Structures are given as structure tokens and as C-alpha cells.
A and B are shown apart, each in its own frame.
Chain A
Amino acid sequence: MATENRKTKQQAEVDSNDEVLQWVTFQLEEETYGINVMQVQEVLRYSEIAPVPGAPDYVLGIINLRGNVVTVIDTRLRFGLPENEITDNTRIVIIESDKQVIGILVDSVAEVVYLKKSEIDSAPNVGTEESARFIQGVSNRDGELLILVDLDKMLTDEEWDEISRLG
């Protein structure tokens, strides 16, 4: 009786929290990743990225986004993946993270998916150590694993420190 009670309670809680979130999915190597649609500003075709001498490795360079200078991060390096060639599908996803606009370079952008919160599982130890820390969860859709990325953790505090030390 008591356990049943608890169960229904839990069920109710889950229901009330079970909002639907939208995720933009993109491809890197063989994996599919998702970012919260609210954080995505726009998706651009690949354009010339001007490298910035002296910048950290994971910064590919800067691009001109309608007159604004936006920094582009090398997502592959960040995720501990090998370099890849630029193809027709290569996209720069402009995202807003921590009130800052940055671009991330990805192999391709696929679609926007709707996920209920209850469909998101906590992350198993997928991927490499490097990437594990900014994965906020995974979701299994039609037998395919979607890795949900927490953009605010793309850069750690230490890295921010490191950047400011360069100056």
C-alpha cells in the first residue's frame, strides 16, 4: 500500500515535469548529438574561417556573421575526435552559451526532434573522457542513440582562466 502510494506520487511528479523539449541534432563522426533549440541562433553553411594566431587550439578562428565577429570552436577537437575534411554538409551552428555567441563546426545538421523529459536518460559512459563532461543525457530513439550536449560546459572554468591568462 505504502509503496504503491509512493509510486503514484512519483508518477505524478514525472508527469508534471514531463515537458517536451526540442533539440537540434547534428552529426559528428558517426554519432548524433542534440542541442537545446533555445540555444541555437542559426545554422550557417561553411564559410572561410580566419584563424587567430596565438589563440587556444580548440578555437578554429573567427567568421563574419553579418558584420559581427563570431568565434568558431573546433567541435571535433573538443570531443576528442580526429580532424575531418570540410564537405558540402559541413555547417557552423551559431549558439548562445552563457550570454556569449559562438559558432561550432559540425559535420552536418539533421533535424529538430521533440523529446519528453522522461525520454532522456542520464549519460552512460559514452564517448571519450574528453566529451563526457559536457554530455547532459542521452536518448534512445528508434534504436539510435542521441547524445544531448550541455553547451554551457563546452568550456570549463579552467579554460576560461587559461584564456584570460593569455592576455
Chain B
Amino acid sequence: MSFEMDEEILQDFLIEAAEILEQLSEQLVQLENDPENKDLLNAIFRGFHTVKGGAGFLAVSALVDTCHGAENVFDTLRNGQRTVTSDLMDVILQALDTINAQFAQLQAREEPEAADSELLETLHKLSQPESEDDTADAAAADDDADVRRASGATNDAENTVDDIQEDEFEALLDELHGKGQGPGASKTANKKEAPNTHTDNDEITDDEFEALLDELHGSGKAPTSAEKQQEEQKSASKSDSDEITDDEFEALLDDLHGKGKAPKVNKAAEKPAQQPAAAKKPEPQKAAPKQPEPKKAEPSKEQAKQPAKKPAAPPPPPPETTVRVDTKRLDEIMNMVGELVLVRNRLLSLSNSDDQKHEEMSKAIANLDVVTGDLQGSVMKTRMQPIKKVFGRFPRVVRDLARSLKKEINLEMHGEETDLDKNLVEALADPLVHLVRNSVDHGIEMPDERQAKGKPREGMVTLSASQEGDHIMLSIKDDGAGMDAEKLKQIAIKRGVLDEDAAARMSNEDAYNLIFAAGFSTKEQVSDISGRGVGMDVVKTKISQLNGSIKIESELGKGTELLIKVPLTLAILPTLMVEVKDQTFALPLAVVSEIIDLDMAKTNTVDGQLTLIVRKRAIPLFFLEHWLTRRPERNKRNENGHVVVVQIGNQQVGFVVDALIGQEEVVIKPLDKLLQGTPGMAGATITSDGGIALIIDVPSMLKYYAKR
């Protein structure tokens, strides 16, 4: 197979399938806790099915095989022919991993590797209900093999698949009724002319085909063929409502069979041939009148969700209300809105200076102010994504970890619907995974140990997110052993990070923060899960890059809670504008803790470093003019300046600036490639008077200048 396939189709598939796979991992773990949930089983079945369909259309046979295996298992499950067990889930999750791996290969435009044959075999075994007779199964399997071979042979897999089925279908028709092949043949022709509508034709035909199969072999085997049909429907990216209708339709046919099916078959086969453009219509119409009948027969079939969905099915599917937009385009819009905000700021400051003279003007500007604010808000919202995107992966992470560590852990999640900026969602994923793994690995004790302490065997990890003003609070809480401040101090002393005296003076909270130091690990034994001591400092760095902060609260024996605070968005930054030697700089407000007047009487030089006493604490003091001007005069000091005290982790530092301008929300403009990576500079922004202000990256500035 080559990748001559339409790149656009491939892209669509990749996007769609990525979403489904993400959902699947979540749903699978959910299923383990709720194995009887038919809706869930159906949803998972459909998920695998859709991916398989798309993969089949693109002729990615390796992916098709794996999905097909998993899908079969779920078909058996949803038909109640097998129950969900942990072992089964292990296999399914393994299959999902394989699919994910294959999917990743496809994303990299590589030919995906075929799945482990052992896995496929296991899947196949699991998909066999006890009641099923072997010959029928074998026949069905053969059928599938044919289809798959066909899809491998040609890029235009769909048509081939259809043809085969149609041949079969026609053969069956012949067999049953001795009728001519007219309808079938014209349908094929139709399909080739109007690729957009042909799947609709197929739907009907397939359903009938299935009904025929049912008639011939009994309903036990129907699922396999049903999958195939759905595969085709999906490959044309159909909406869910169609599937449901299909299922129902199938059920109808199943239930009705024996009752004058032959005439219906003919009618249906002809209809699409006559009106391919309106092909969609016949289906709901036909489904609607027949509803009353299957409802009686429902309990026998798998459509647990039918009652709920049924009323929705007959009316034509509602038009799509969402549009996929490239994030790049959104970024562009965001950028332009940023411009607008800046222009507005400028106008605002102009109108302020120009008292009553232009009353009309200032009215208009006030209006502009409101509209711009709204526009900015709406555009921001388009970039928002629920944190669920990140949280969704945790059930799986926790489950796998708990199983491998032989711990019993219950994961609770709150506030999954909390929205935050897309970039933030992505940036938070890794740190959060790390912290959750830590909680599971280090926090929660072994079940026996917990029991001995009088706690429930099952540990609890709680993940929650909530919005607080313009910030998002994330919390990862466990009811495990908690952190031992003394032990942390001992380790720090042993590693030479800390001396005895400092340790003795250190508060518990400061001691907890020791885990953020590079190379610090409390675990004596390093596991593959955590304990290498490289993680926490990375987490910390990542979070501060997002202008966020992280805090630890812990009680020995009761548990630990990690609190992460991040801004809602990365695009707009609240800053404190300051002036240093006639140049404007913006300090991110998140790090500024207070502003005081400089009083040289309160300064001391300790070990060559100028320090300022702030509420009995000595903090290092730096003159920004020494760092941020071209030819600094190191000996000269502006002793009438203001001190901006910033908080970096637990460390407070004072910066002397010449003047304070005020607080301003700014849009961050990245620096040119030429200047990217300039130490201490996070970017630039346009000030309300049209000038330029550099945004200071405080940690990076300290790192670069303070050591000199």
C-alpha cells in the first residue's frame, strides 16, 4: 500500500480517529467499573468501528485488523454473550495500545506494522460467544478475510468491498427469489457516478443483505456482516444518527423477518437506483412507520439505547453546527484582536487626555471599548478547551499503574468541564501525568499497609479543576502517607543541598518544596515509574513557564495535595509596567508580590550581595539598570527608586526600578528569530502609547544576570 491516497481524506481520518481513540481509552476504563453499561459498550463498539471504517477506506490493513478484532469482542459483549473481566480488559487495552501505535505510525506517514498475531488470536477467541457454532463463525471470518484482502489490493477499497457484497447480495437475491440482477447492477453504476450518495444506497442494501443473511443462518451471525456495512458507512464519515437508525433498522428486519420481506427488498433496491440524490431520505421514512413493532421485541436484542434514541432518529439529521478550524487561523484572529485591543488602549488614553472637547468621540471610544472587550472574550472562548482533554487520560494511567504496583486505587475527577486555553491544556498534560503518577506511586500505600493504619484498602486520588477569577486551580490530592518534612530535610542534607542549620530553620512547607530541586528523590529504589528525581523540577519549570505556581500541602499519614494555579490563557498577560532608564519594561504580575519605596538605610551588604530587609527578612536587591541598559554604570545607583519584590518559588528578590507606570494587560509578541533566546526576555508588547515594552522573564533574567 502506498500513501497515494488523498492527503485530505487522510487528514480528516487522522483528526477524527485521534479523537475517538482518546475517548476510547477513557471509555474502556469506565467500562471496567461499569461492565453492564450497554450504552458504553455500544459506544466503544462504534468507536472501534469508526476507526476501522476509516482505516479500511484508506486501506491500512494493519489498523483494520486490530480494530476489527477489538470490535468483534465488543460486539460479543454488547450482545451479552460474554462478560467484562479484568483479563479481557487487559487484552482490549493492549489492543488499544497497538492501535494507538499503529495510528502514530500512520500519522508519521509510515506504513503501520501489523499487530502481534497472538493478540489478534486472543481477540478472536474472546469474540466467540459460547453459543456460536463453529462453521458459521468460520464462514463469517472468511467473509471478512475476503473483504480485507480486497481492501489491501486496491486503494479504492470501498467500491471493492461493496462489489463483493453486492455480488453476494445479488447471489442471495437470486437464490431466494430467482429475480434478475437489474436493481443491483444499476445501483453499482449509480454508485460510481455519485460517490457521495452511494453509501446511502448501500446502507439500505446492506441492511437487506443482512436480513437475508439472518434469514439464512439465524441471527447469531449477523454482527459480523453488520460490522462490514457499518464500516462502509463510517468511511464516508457518517453521523452517528445514521448508525443508530441502521441498528434499529436491522433489528426491525430481524424482528420482522418472515413477514413479507421479499417485496421490500425489491422496492429498496430500486429506489436508490431511481433517485440517488435523495438517497438519504428513504431510510428514515422507512424506519419510522415500522417502529411500533420492534419495540415489543426489544428485550431480545442489543438496542438498550433504542428507547432513548428512537424518537430522535426519524426526523432528518440536524445540520452540522460545528466547524473545524485550524488553530493557526485562530491564532491569527487572536493576534488581530490583540492589535485591536492595543489600538483601543491607545484611543482610550488619547480620549482621556482630551477632556470634553470631543464628547462624541469619547462616546464612540467607550463603545469601541465594550465591543473590543466582547470580541476579545469571544475569540478567547473559541480557543478554550475543557480540561477533560487532559483528565481523560488519567483513568487509564491510574488503572495501569495501580495494576502494575498491585495497589488498589480509586480515581475521582471533578470539574472536568472547566475550560482553559488550548495551549495550556496541551502544556499541562505532561506535568499533570507526572504528578498523578507520583501520587499513585509515592503517595498511596500498599493495601495491606493501609489496612494496618486503619484506612480503607482502596486508596483515593482526587483530581479537580476549577476556575477562580482569571486563574485555573488544579488539585491532585491523595489520601496516602503524606510527606515527611524531617525525612526530606535529612535527604537534602545528605545530598548537600542543605546544611543542618538551614534545615532546622526550615518550615514544613519549604521542606516539601525541596522535592522540586533537581536530582532530588525520596525513593531509595528507582522504579520505572518514578523516583529518578528528574521529574519534579521539570514539572516546576514547566508550570512556571506557564506563569503558574505550584504549592504542596501535606499531612503526615493523611495525604498530600498539590495545588497548581495557572492563568486562563497564555495570550494575554497582566503585567506591571516599570521604567528603567527611560525604557519601559513589563514584569508579569503573577510574580510581583509587593512594591515598596527604596530606603537605602534598610540595605546591607551580605557576602558581597546587596540585601534589603523586608519585614525582618533579608532579600537580595538588584538594580535593574545594571542589567537592562546598554552600558551600565555599575557604580551608580538610583537611590530614589522603587523596589518591586518578586517571588520566584520560595525565593523573594527585590528589583530597583526608576518609576512605576502601572498595571496593564498586554498581548505578548514573540521576539524575532534573531532575538529569540535573549536571556531574560519573554517577548515584547506594544504599550498603549504605541511604544514598545520588553516583557521580562524573571527566572531566566535572574539565572543569566544574578550569577555575575
Contacts and interface: CB of A to CB of B under 8 A. Distances in A.
Interface string B566-600: 00000000000000000110000000000000000
B669 A69 contact: yes
Given A62-B684, A71-B672, A52 B677 contact: no
Interface in A26-78: 48, 50-55, 59, 62-64, 66-71, 73
Interface residues of A, number: 26
Interface string B662-697: 000000011111111111110110100011111000
Nearest to B693: A50
B342 interface: yes
Interface string A115-129: 000000000000000
B3 interface: no
Given A51-B583, A53-B628, A69-B684, A167 B671 contact: no
Given A50-B583, A54-B704, A164 B671 contact: no
B691 A52 contact: no
B629 interface: yes
A163 interface: yes
Given A50-B691, A64-B692, A67-B342, A166 B669 contact: no
A93 interface: no
Contact of A53 (B669, B680, B693): B680
Contacts of B512: none
A80 B584 CA distance: 30
A166 B679 contact: yes
Contacts of B342: 67
A37 to B, nearest CB: 22
Contact of A62 (B629, B671, B677): B671
A116 B671 CA distance: 38
B300 to A, nearest CB: 66
Nearest to B685: A69
A166 B680 CA distance: 11
A69 B672 contact: yes
A59 B339 contact: no
B630 interface: yes
Contacts of B677: 163-164, 166-167
A48 B672 contact: no
A31 B670 CA distance: 35
Nearest to B583: A50
Given A59-B674, A102-B674, A53 B690 contact: no
B339 A50 contact: no
Given A166-B678, A166-B679, A64 B671 contact: no
Nearest to A159: B674
A85 B677 CA distance: 30
A155 interface: yes
A70 B627 CA distance: 22
Interface string B333-353: 000001100100000000000
B691 A48 contact: yes
Nearest to B676: A167
A54 B671 contact: no
Contacts of B627: 53
Contact of A51 (B630, B670, B680, B690): B630
B678 A167 contact: yes
A165 B368 CA distance: 44
A67 B679 contact: no
Given A50-B691, A62-B692, A64-B686, A70 B672 contact: yes
Most chain A C-beta atoms within 10 Å of own C-beta, residue among B627, B673, B691: B673
A100 interface: yes
A29 B143 CA distance: 83
A166 B673 CA distance: 12
A70 B671 CA distance: 8
Contact of B692 (A55, A69, A101): A69
A52 B693 CA distance: 10
Given A50-B583, A50-B692, A102 B672 contact: yes
A53 B629 contact: yes
A49 to B, nearest CB: 9
A50 B685 CA distance: 11
A101 to B, nearest CB: 8
A55 B691 CA distance: 19
Interface string A123-167: 000000000000000000000000000000001000000011011
Contact of B681 (A53, A67, A73): A53
B678 A64 contact: no
B628 A71 contact: no
Nearest to A71: B672
A110 to B, nearest CB: 27
B690 A64 contact: yes
B674 A54 contact: no
A59 B675 contact: yes
Nearest to B677: A167
Contacts of A70: 672
A167 B672 contact: no
A52 B679 CA distance: 10
B674 A163 contact: yes
Contacts of B681: 52-54
Contacts of A73: 674
A69 B678 CA distance: 15
Nearest to A61: B692
A48 B627 CA distance: 21
Interface of B: 338-339, 342, 583-584, 627-630, 669-681, 683-684, 686, 690-694, 704
24 contacts: A48-B691, A50-B584, A51-B629, A51-B630, A52-B678, A53-B628, A53-B694, A54-B678, A55-B675, A55-B678, A59-B674, A59-B675, A62-B671, A62-B672, A62-B684, A63-B692, A69-B686, A100-B672, A100-B674, A102-B672, A163-B675, A163-B677, A164-B676, A167-B677
Question: Lowest 10 A-B CB distances belong to which pairs?
Answer: A167-B677, A71-B672, A50-B692, A67-B339, A53-B628, A69-B669, A69-B684, A54-B679, A71-B674, A54-B678
Given A52-B671, A66-B339, 17 more contacts: A50-B693, A52-B675, A53-B681, A54-B680, A62-B672, A62-B675, A64-B691, A67-B338, A67-B686, A69-B671, A69-B684, A69-B686, A71-B674, A100-B672, A100-B674, A155-B674, A166-B677
